[in-house]
Copies of this chain bind each other. A is one copy, B any other.
Amino acid sequence: MNLDITLSSLQDKGHRITKVRKEVVKIFSENTTPLSANQVEEKMLQVCLSVNKATIYRELQFLLANGYLVEVYLRPNEVSYESSELKHHHHLVCSTCGAIDNVTNCLASELEDDVFKKRGFRIKQHTLEFYGTCAECARKTT
């Protein structure tokens, strides 16, 4: 997402632009792969911002509720987030090292009409996750 546009549209809605909020939005505007609360905390520490975990959770919920982030479930007991403005894509999750890469190819939407006709299920969103071994891990093992 665009840093300045996001911040000013939040401000227009009456929300405050704080040090924490600015940095979290910045992080997601610079990262295209999903980040967990812990990873966001780490990134903030890297720029010497020590922020309470509760605050980070609250800020993620806030940006989620306001439509700037979406939740991603790639692993047990860990929710990640990514910008909702990213082009539709799927994830390549390396089950060895955890690295995540994005792919933008998508055939899945072709299924949507079919599913609605046959089952009356109106698809609003879908996620396609790939699990496997990334090139780097394959090299290390072989």
List chain A positions with a Cβ less than 8 A from chain B: 71, 73-77, 79, 92, 94-95, 101, 103, 105, 107-108, 110-111, 114-115, 119-135, 138
Give the 4 A-B CB pairs with smallest separation, nearest first. Answer: A120-B135, A73-B73, A107-B107, A124-B132
Partner among B110, B121, B129 whose Cβ is within 8 Å of the Cβ of A127: B129
Residues of B within 8 A of A129 (CB): 126-129
Q: Quick one: given A79-B77, A126-B129, A126-B130, are A111 and B103 in contact (CB under 8 Å)? A: yes
A interface SS class? strand
Residues of B within 8 A of A132 (CB): 121-125
Give the number of copies in the complex.
Answer: 2
Q: Report the Cα distance A70→B108, complex, angstroms.
A: 22
Determine which residue in A94, A121, A126 has the highest number of CB atoms from chain B within 10 A of its CB, and name it.
A121
What's the nearest-Cβ distance from chain B to residue A10, in Å?
23
CB of B126 within 8 A of CB of A121, answer: no
Q: Report the Cα distance A77→B78, complex, angstroms.
A: 6
| Residue contacts A-B, CB under 8 angstroms, 23 given | A73-B73, A73-B74, A73-B76, A76-B79, A77-B77, A92-B115, A92-B119, A92-B123, A103-B119, A105-B115, A107-B111, A108-B128, A119-B134, A119-B135, A121-B132, A121-B133, A122-B132, A123-B132, A125-B130, A125-B131, A126-B128, A126-B131, A129-B129
